[in-house]
Structure 1
Amino acid sequence: MTDTVLIADDHPLFRQALALAVGRVLPDATVIEAGTLSTAAHAAVEAADLRLILLDLKMPGAVGYSGIALLHAERPSVPILVVSSAQESSAAQEARAFGAVGFLRKDSELAAIETAIRAALGQAPIAAQDDEAGAIDAIRSDVAALTPAQLKVLLAVLDGQLNKQIAFSLKISEATVKAHMTAIMRKLDVSNRTQAALVARSLGLDLRH
């Protein structure tokens, strides 16, 4: 079977540009395009022989770096290359902390995009580097370790939704929402949903890039 590459970006013209770059690096690859985070997550689960995910941080449905965390949780062995208009100095390190293997600005030349794609295809997910912010990196790892379902619940909590609303939007029972929240609080080592939301916000999950 041929390799598959997922391009997740809400701008059709930019998806075409990325598809062109992918075609030059992997001429026989099948390209799947997604315009929202939910569509991208579904595609990531269903895609066979998925080799690479190209992800825009500003995807509809994403908050901050949640798109990376969710897609990394769905397909942890597939490299994620972030292509964003965010300031590289701060966003690149944080993107890697949540599971991305690389970061590329949207105004990069086509040749630079191709080079980044080739590099991403040869890498495994890069962990955050140890530094004086080791405690924050540890919490980032905890967030990155949440399951896709748990991340969806946490994002809904950040959006201010109540358990009943979360259950309705995710098509699950309130009991299941409560079970996910219990697991989330245990993994993040917090005692209530407010603290869980504060932890998520401290990691940039409420920042829109």
Structure 2
Amino acid sequence: MQEITIPTGLYFGKKMTKPQLYKREITRNYSAHHTFLEIASIQMELAQQKKTGWFNEALISMTFSALAVEALANAVGHRLWQGHAWEDFEDCKPIIKLERIAKKLAIPYQIRNEPWKTIQWLIKFRNKIAHAKPEPIKQFSKVGHAKKGTHDINCPESVLENLVSKNTAKHVLKSVKDLKDIFCKHIPEEELDGICTDGWSATTEPIFDM
């Protein structure tokens, strides 16, 4: 193919001035599951140190891991369903969304196997956090005469508090990341952007004064 060179300063027979401005377009397919997983990872690492406040860090990590599940499901569902079908999908509960995605992508969905088993537990944990209720606690134990005072009494933990630990935070985070990897292996390649990785791109074009 012969290369054609247009003389400098000419544009279709008109004199071209030096561009003073450029039009830049930046695109990004954002999904919140990337943000939530990053927060969960940071807080999980802090909780592993088991310093003062580790419980709060583990709780934050587990909560954001749970939030990442539905955000991931929505990101994938938005690529697989459009229009009214997407609206129907969006109204589903998180566990139903996962079931529908698995069926659509021909992914074996076995609730007794990992990561599905942990993901279901995590969704229930998220519901306990989102709809937390008061819990009257009574704890009985036998103590000797020397310890009948109140100075060494520890605060009894609630059912919700007993669910939180640094090891659990680490386990559920891994399960959500495993779920993301499973989806990424089955999603069509052209739909991976914004789901498997968070990135952006930019194009720049000159704006000429004609």
Same fold (TM over 0.5): no
Structure with bigger gyration radius: 2
Structure 1 length normalisation: TM-score? 0.30
